[in-house]
Amino acid sequence: MKILVTGAAGFIGSHTSERLKKLGHEVIGIDNFSPYYDISLKNLNAKVLSGKNIKILNLDLRDTDLAENLPNDLDFIFHFAAHPGISSTSSFEDYFSNNILATQRLLEFAERLAKKPFFVNIATSSIYGLEATFPESVPPKPASWYGVTKLAAEQLVLAKSRENKLKGTSLRLFSVYGPRERPDKLYTRLIDCGLNNKAFPLFEGSEKHLRSFTYVQDIVDGIVSVIGKEEVCNGEVFNLGTETESTTAQGIATAEEILQKKIKTGINPPRDGDQSRTKANIDKARKLLSYNPQTTLKEGLIAQTEWFKENF
């Protein structure tokens, strides 16, 4: 099958592109190489994918004529591209244009194609709000610009399904970590601080936060399981993540155990909109997608630490 992956040079998008290629699909990647974080990491990811015959086009969904630049015979679109996280340096316009406007433009492109691709929207547990422990049937209560705009993007996709204009699904991911994790995320920062004797910027109170820390390959298992189950997934939302909860403090302790050294911490003010608890309820994904994440936090962090050492 011919598959388009947006945000293909990013963390989870690059891993998914690799897996799809390994499964025998033709993968076309696009990324706008946003300077939200150091683009050298995205360039590194793109180089890895290039070595596996996956080309990434430097395109911005917001200002590109997609019909002139992309194939018209796609079977699937996996839509990762977004303005991520909770950042004090990002404006509402950043989240709106990247998460809502870009998604709408991609949907318009897909809808105009004679052969309609199945649209897989990559969403987030932040849609649920300050606590994300619920099944997909619970009304969302996002508490950040990121969560609000990702919910809007999800609804744009589901609206197309409800109107029978496109078939698609939305996958809400929970606290993903592993090799290629963004430099602003928890474990890349922890490993960097531990190896380079820097103080880790801990947000006040966050050491007690509970998270479903989910290894990236376990997440990719769930993402690609949609293929072949289009009728089951159409119009549906699925949580993907581990059911195991760990506190941030436990995560720090696990990183220290692997690095065999104490990581210095500095306390920063708490972040508005930061979730206090995430625990993936994956009953639906287990039943309909046979989803079953297995990687322990320590196993995943060992792999991430080795990746960091090899590349940085």
CB 21 within 8 A of CB 52: yes
Residues 6+ apart with CB under 8 A from 229: 288, 289
Is there a catalytic annotation at residue 177?
no
Comparing C-alpha atoms, which of 35, 40, 32 is closest to residue 8?
32
Give me the residue label for tokens 């909860």: 245
Cα-based torsion angle of the residue sequence 122, 135, 301, 200 in order, rounded to the nearest 10 degrees: 90
Beta pairing partners, 277: 131, 210
Catalytic residue chosen out of the listed positions 36, 37, 95, 146: 146
- Sort residue 53 into left (φ over 0), alpha (ψ -120 to 50) or beta: left
Q: Which residues are CB-contacts of 247 (< 8 A; sequence separation ≥ 6)?
A: 207, 208, 209, 210, 211
DSSP state of 138: S
Q: How far, in Å, CA of 190 to CA of 148, rounded?
A: 28
Tokens of 163: 């109107």
Q: Are 104 and 66 in contact (CB under 8 A)?
A: no
Which DSSP string do the residues of 173-198 spell out, in sequence order? E-SEESTT--TTSHHHHHHHHHHHT-
Which DSSP category does 312 fall into?
-
Catalytic residues: 146
